Amino acid sequence: MTLQTEITKDRDTVDRRTVSPAISPRIRPARWGDKDALLQMIHALAHHHGDEPELTMAALIDLMGAGLPWLRLLVAEDSSGESEGLLGYAGLVGGVQLQHGRKNMDLHHLFIRQDMRGRGVGRALIDAARQEAVALDCHRLTVSTQTHNTRAQETYLACGFEPRDITGAHFAMQLR
């Protein structure tokens, strides 16, 4: 495996990071046997965002069994056999713009193992999410990220997402 050094300029700084060669992951719906690895990756993503994960195995099992609009999970695995285990996952949540009669899909979670980042796994999961949304006759696929996560923002733009302004006040009601 040949390693290359990628140099990117971001404002007046130069960031050197080692980039591994791209791989061609196989994307498939999550299966029952993936639940342990999925729970571990979901918790890792929560920690990455500074959250304390509350998802239990029982709750994940409940969500995995729910139909739309609740959750669809896609996983990436190495089709070449070079890497063991799951490489990452995408969590898709269905929604609707009732006033327009349009179904939407939100790419609610996208997580790639640290050692697999920058190798095309995220792009493959995003493409599979797009295909899933199209197959379900969705009008739009949305994704959001934290303001400071510029690497994710660059990836989303490169994959065809466009920025959108969210206006208005947002509220939540705690139910449990």
CATH of the domain at 104: 3.40.630.30
- Residue 99 pLDDT exceeds 90: no
Query: In the structure encoding, which two tokens stand for residue 171, read together?
Result: 């509220």
Residue 58 lies in a domain: yes
User: What whole-number distance in Å separates Cα of residue 5 and Cα of residue 10?
Assistant: 16
Residue 6 lies in a domain: no
Residue 11 lies in a domain: no
Residue 49 lies in a domain: yes
Range of the domain at 90: 25-158
Residue 15 lies in a domain: no
Query: pLDDT for 41-87, tens place per residue?
Result: 999 998 988 888 888 898 888 777 766 567 899 999 998 888 889 99
Provide the domain count of the chain. Answer: 1
Q: Residue 4 pairs with which residues in a beta bridge?
A: 19
